[in-house]
């Protein structure tokens, strides 16, 4: 009798486990998943001077999503290293071999970069830090100053010392903002990415928002003179000279009369 009751108890316990297991699994599957923690790197802001940017990471693009943030500014604004690191990728204007054998070797032409550059990127430079994070600068300047001719020299895109394997320090000048690649039809900007050691893209917005930024004042715009055409001549008003301050007359004083005694 006792053996029969023991068998019944074991059977009931097994049935309870079989019912509880799927219920626990279902609860686990329907439990809300916590969002991943925000990722951020301590960096120096990669562009000097006034800029504007938004959190456009993940925005739809043709055939992919945006893997960085676009930082809009003015052509030839200085680009600086976001972190200490090494140049691991460089797409730059070609420059000939130096005639002096003792001179440092030039940076490679686009066809000799570490890996082929996508045409959409234009001129670009990647810097990898000691922890394996890579900072990507895309759409670097490719124009002569004041033009959109696509004929920039190496020194108008990057500083003269930039080359593969070059060590850079945080805040060091490395190049200039532009519109190369598929940015030719947009306003000049830097496409800035942060890649994790495994190659995955990390949203740089929090890192950029917290980064120290050297905001240079925008140059003041000169007032336009209201010139008028008179026949074949163009007459512009002459600048008025600054008003002269009137000299104040000294206060009148009574003459001192000395009398002989």
Q: How confident is the model at residue 146 (pLDDT cuts 50, 70, 90)?
A: very high
Q: Is residue 139 classed as helix, strand or coil in its secondary structure? A: strand
64 vs 71 pLDDT, higher one: 71
Beta-bridge partner residues of 194: 135, 202
Task: Please give the pLDDT value at position 247.
Answer: 54
141 pLDDT above the threshold of 80 = yes
Termini Cα distance of the chain: 157
Dist CA 47 CA 129 (whole Å): 18
The arrangement of secondary structure in 60-98+105-210, i.e. its CATH architecture, is Distorted Sandwich (2.70)
pLDDT digits (tens, 9 = 90+) for 227-238: 555 665 555 555
The first and second tokens of residue 194, run together, are 């942060």
Q: Where are the domains of the chain?
A: 60-98+105-210
Cross-strand pairs, 233: 230
120 pLDDT tier (thresholds 50, 70, 90)? confident
| Beta strands 64-65; 167-168: pairing state | unpaired
pLDDT in tens, 89-100: 999 987 654 444
Element (H, E) at 70: strand 69-72
Of 47, 86, 50, 91, nearest to 69 by C-alpha is: 47
Which band of pLDDT confidence, cut at 50, 70 and 90, is reported for residue 244?
low
Task: List, for residues 39-56, the tens digit of each pLDDT value.
Answer: 899 999 999 999 999 999
- Tell me: pLDDT of 86 over 70: yes
Q: Distances in Å between the alpha carbon of 6 and those of 2, 3, 142, 182, 243? A: 6, 5, 85, 77, 114
Whole-number average pLDDT of the chain: 75
Full-model pTM: 0.64
Residue 82 CA to residue 68 CA, distance in Å, equals 14
CB 139 within 8 A of CB 123: yes
Residue owning tokens 């000799």:
112
What is the pLDDT at residue 21? 45
Contact of 236 with 225, CB cutoff 8 Å:
yes
**Segment among 29-38, 77-86, 177-186, 203-212 with least mean pLDDT:** 29-38
């Amino acid at each position: 009798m006792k053996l029969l009751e023991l068998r019944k108890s074991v059977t009931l316990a097994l049935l309870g486990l079989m019912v509880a297991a799927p219920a626990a699994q279902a609860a686990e599957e329907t439990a809300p998943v916590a969002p991943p923690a925000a990722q951020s790197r301590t960096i120096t802001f990669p562009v000097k001077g006034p800029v504007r940017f938004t959190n456009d990471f993940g925005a739809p693009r043709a055939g992919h999503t945006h893997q960085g943030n676009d930082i809009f500014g003015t052509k030839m604004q200085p680009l600086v290293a976001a972190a200490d690191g090494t140049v691991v990728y460089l797409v730059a204007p070609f420059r000939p071999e130096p005639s002096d054998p003792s001179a440092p070797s030039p940076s490679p032409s686009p066809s000799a970069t570490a890996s082929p550059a996508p045409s959409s990127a234009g001129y670009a430079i990647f810097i990898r830090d000691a922890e394996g994070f890579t900072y990507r600068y895309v759409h670097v300047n490719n124009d002569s100053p004041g033009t959109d001719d696509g004929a920039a020299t190496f020194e108008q895109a990057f500083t003269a010392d930039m080359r593969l394997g070059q060590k850079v320090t945080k805040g060091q000048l490395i190049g200039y903002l532009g519109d190369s690649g598929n940015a030719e039809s947009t306003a000049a900007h830097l496409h800035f990415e942060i890649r994790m050691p495994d190659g995955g893209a990390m949203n740089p917005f929090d890192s950029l928002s917290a980064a120290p930024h050297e905001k240079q004042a925008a140059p003041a715009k000169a007032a336009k003179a209201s010139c008028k055409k008179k026949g074949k001549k163009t007459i512009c008003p002459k600048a008025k000279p600054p008003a002269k301050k009137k000299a104040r007359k000294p206060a009148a004083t009574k003459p001192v009369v000395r009398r002989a005694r």
